[in-house]
Chain A
Amino acid sequence: MALWLAGMIRGASYYKKTLISITTRSSRAFASSGARDADKGSFRTPYMASATAFISRRFRSSVAGQQLDHFSSHDDEDKGQVRTLDFPGGRVPYTSEMRFLPGSSENRVECYRVLDDDGYPLSSTPFQHIDKEVAVKMYRGMVTLQAMDTVIYEAQRQGRISFYMTSYGEEAVNLGSAAALSSDDIVLPQYREPGVMLWRGFELQEFVNQFFGNKNDIGKGRQMPTHYGSNKHNVITISAPLATQLPQAVGAAYSIKMDKKDACVVTYFGDGCSSEGDFHASLNFAAVMEVPIVYICRNNGWAISTPVTDQFRSDGIVVKGQAYGIPSIRVDGNDALAVYNAVGAARKVAINEQRPVLVEALTYRVGHHSTSDDSTKYRPIDEIEHWKTARNPVSIFRNWVQRRSWWSDKQESDFRAHIRKQVIHAVQVAEKTEKSPVGSIFCDVYENVPPNLMEQEKLLKETIRRYPQDFPKDVPLGN
């Protein structure tokens, strides 16, 4: 659309002589092409005509071209050699056989695992060292998520909060990835990654304050439950529309690149997100702009009620990364160690090579999408039960940790009882805490409160003072 208009407007503008005279090199080439402006082909002509100069001016954007050049052979005529043709973007091998690429390959892309379903290492192949402290912190985080999900889900069912989303079944993706990152890495989450904030030190009480929107909620009671964020923890506030975090992640990564920081951006999304236009825009831009970013897709099988079989016909998400020129890996998302290793390696590539990397974690959403749906209405209970028991990521990891004597049955029961009590306590505290004050309605619309909002705030407070019976009692008026 934009392409077409460029020609169109330019054509119209030449006619009216409102454009300044064109003096750039590429534009001269453009003019000398002699074709009509609105013609799509000639529009790109200047880029082709000055391809060498153009490419040298962009960071290393000729990488794709260079990759293609590997195919090229300088003696095209020789038999047995790959014969190539020069096209914009690089040399391409050619053939007289007509062959379509298949829509999918016979073998699906394999999935990287470290542990089997009982928590035994799959082979003696050494994997990234993980010490006791990290492993136990990961495990505690997974259990804490489960405890928070259980208590808060119940609180929602009792009508104490309006909404909640559990992370059941995806604890390993949450904590495995969080542990592999540095706290300087900027995270743009979707909404099923509270484990990342937990890992970074966001307190249970802070989570629960957010669910209740009280005056201690650092989000000032503005966002629906589970849509938190914390600047201090380098976690950008969650945005509800799907996939908007993906192009934004490229922007944040671009700023990290400009600052030459030893960090990357990590963004999470689900299988459903990959159908949004933003997903495709993001991957393409990230590859072209060569930014340090780790995409973590939680392919959990279900986008609310839409199964992946109705979501796409490709072999998942991992192949899409490759299509955009992004190194990609598929991991077992229920294997915390595999996630930890893959994300750690992806992070290194992203930072050292200044390029995006994609990790597709295959997992399963054991809970409902949110408290607004009942997933047993659209999927078999047996299926849920299977993933809850046989493939439970928390049990798998616990078996491994316990086998290394880093955790015991006693610690397990003590910690579960303790953490449940803590969550319940946090709920009691949050519930008793005053709600956010009236004034917080008006601040932060802009960096500085403009006069019209000050006036609205003043009028609202006056009205509440005059007619207190018409307003809820639990909202403090403030000054």
Chain B
Amino acid sequence: MLGILRQKAGGAMGLSSQGLGNHFLSLRPLTPALRNYTSAVKEMTVRDALNSALDEEMAADPNVFVMGEEVGEYQGAYKITKGLLDKYGPERVVDTPITEAGFAGIGVGSAYHGLRPVIEFMTFNFSMQAIDHIINSAAKSNYMSAGQINVPIVFRGPNGPAAGVGAQHSQCYGAWYGSVPGLKVLVPYSSEDARGLLKAAIRDPDPVVFLENELLYGESFPVSAEALDSSFCLPIGKAKIEREGKDITITAFSKMVGYALKAAEILEKEGINAEVINLRSIRPLDRATINASVRKTNRLVTVEEGFPQHGIGAEICASVVEDSFGYLDAPVERIAGADVPTPYAANLERMAFPQIEDIVRAAKRACYRSAPMAATAS
């Protein structure tokens, strides 16, 4: 990771990137995502997408209930549960005392007995207080009980770095939960993802960890009529190719998908046609889609905000080495958060997480590096 820090320092000197970071931090809705839709497309924020998905699933199944700190009267710390208390009452929108281990355990217990709890962590950082229930109880009970007790529970809330909240509130738990058999781990990016994946998570018979991103809640994305239908649902374990390309594959999830798409736009101008894969699901990981893309482009850059060691990028890299080693024309480039607890100061914080220019540089390295090698070979 020090390598990435060094690269950043080098880039700052060479690129004179004044104000670039600030600009990209406030990402605007991305036009490329419009491609697949007709002109009648509606815009929706991720917050409303999550809220409407919860609402529809609660309306469809009386066993679904929401529980967490401030999900009721206060309408959710991030207003994801807005209006649900009025609609479904305090029996199904449960405000809890401040004990993560308590309400995570209560959720698991209610799932043992047939309910479908959606447990909101105010942020996933606080799920650490409850992780025993998630891993040792939710993830394993179906197996330990020999299939007698399944645990249809969703743990959801904002994950990953926000902005200016320091080490204990800025980390990605994708790799943590992604390593646990029995869990499913979903990472929505757009409003369509948020709706389709949250609905899938609630309907799923197994425990799902649903990692949202605070900075995406207010973002608007176009949503198709199909995605707005209450029956809409996305398959768990399928990645989405957000942007087709032939020269290099960029994998990303959550907020980083937006960064990858921005990077792809910049690369396009420089004649590099990048394919951007929105993972959507960390576990199961869609190895097939990733490998098919790499076999086409022969180059790979992975992007994540989590720590680099044993991260999602490491897992993707391993899967490509195992399945498509012969197709690689360049070393895989892994872009991740710095291998340090997140600093608070804005300038240092920016340095600690991937920026769009990091992706652009890594993609160029992967492409340029292969060109002279090929020339030497011929």
Contacts and interface: CB of A to CB of B under 8 A. Distances in A.
A18 B215 contact: yes
Quick one: which of A27, A244, A450 has the most chain B CB within 10 A? Answer: A244
B179 to A, nearest CB: 14
Contacts of A78: none
Nearest to B284: A450
Contact of B73 (A26, A220, A250, A281): A26
A9 B148 CA distance: 41
Given A244-B133, A248-B105, A446-B206, A6 B69 contact: yes
B155 interface: no
A101 interface: no
B146 A220 contact: yes
A223 B143 CA distance: 9
A12 B144 CA distance: 43
B224 interface: no
Contacts of A223: 144
B91 A46 contact: no
B103 interface: yes
A288 B142 CA distance: 29
A237 B145 contact: yes
A219 B141 CA distance: 11
B211 to A, nearest CB: 16
16 contacts: A2-B98, A12-B165, A231-B145, A241-B132, A244-B132, A247-B103, A250-B102, A250-B105, A251-B117, A254-B109, A258-B115, A277-B101, A289-B106, A444-B146, A450-B237, A450-B284
Given A252-B113, A278-B101, A6 B122 contact: yes
B99 interface: yes
B137 A251 contact: no
Interface residues of B, number: 74
Interface residues of A, number: 73
B77 interface: yes
A249 B133 CA distance: 13
A5 B165 contact: yes
B358 interface: no
A247 B75 CA distance: 24
A267 B149 CA distance: 17
Interface string A243-264: 0111111111111101000000
B99 A284 contact: yes
Given A239-B144, A284-B102, 15 more contacts: A5-B123, A5-B165, A18-B215, A222-B143, A229-B144, A231-B149, A244-B133, A247-B101, A250-B106, A250-B109, A254-B110, A282-B105, A289-B106, A444-B146, A446-B205
Nearest to B48: A20
Given A54-B73, A244-B136, A281 B105 contact: yes
B232 interface: no
A237 B98 contact: no
Contacts of B99: 277, 280-281, 284-285
Nearest to A436: B146
Given A9-B77, A255-B113, A247 B102 contact: yes
B245 interface: no
Given A12-B163, A24-B75, A59 B90 contact: yes
A219 B146 contact: yes
Interface in B137-192: 137, 141-150, 162-165, 169, 181-182, 184
Interface string B27-48: 0000000000000000000010
A133 to B, nearest CB: 30
Interface of B: 47, 65, 69-70, 73-75, 77-79, 82, 85, 90-91, 94-115, 117, 122-123, 125-126, 129, 132-133, 136-137, 141-150, 162-165, 169, 181-182, 184, 204-206, 214-215, 217-218, 237, 284, 287
B146 A222 contact: yes
A168 to B, nearest CB: 26
Nearest to B219: A18
A236 interface: yes
A7 to B, nearest CB: 10
Given A18-B214, A229-B149, A247 B104 contact: yes
B106 A254 contact: yes
Contacts of A452: 284, 287
Interface in A190-240: 217-220, 222-223, 227, 229-231, 236-237, 239-240
A334 to B, nearest CB: 30
A188 B96 CA distance: 22
Contacts of A57: 73, 85, 90
Contacts of A16: 163
A86 to B, nearest CB: 21
Contacts of A64: none
Contacts of B79: 19-20
Nearest to A47: B73
Given A5-B122, A247-B133, A289 B94 contact: yes
Quick one: which of B79, B145, B204 has the most chain A CB within 10 A? Answer: B145
A35 interface: no
A316 to B, nearest CB: 22
A410 interface: no
B47 A20 contact: yes
Contacts of A227: 144
A252 to B, nearest CB: 4
A282 B133 CA distance: 13
Contacts of B215: 18
B99 to A, nearest CB: 4
A9 B162 contact: yes
A229 B149 CA distance: 10
A5 B164 contact: no
Contact of A445 (B95, B114, B132, B181): B181
Contacts of B141: 237, 239
Contact of A186 (B101, B113, B145): B113
A10 interface: yes
A8 interface: yes
Quick one: which of B110, B122, B133 has the most chain A CB within 10 A? Answer: B110
Nearest to B106: A251
Interface string A37-69: 000000000110000001001110000000000
A285 B103 contact: yes
Contacts of A446: 142, 182, 184, 205-206
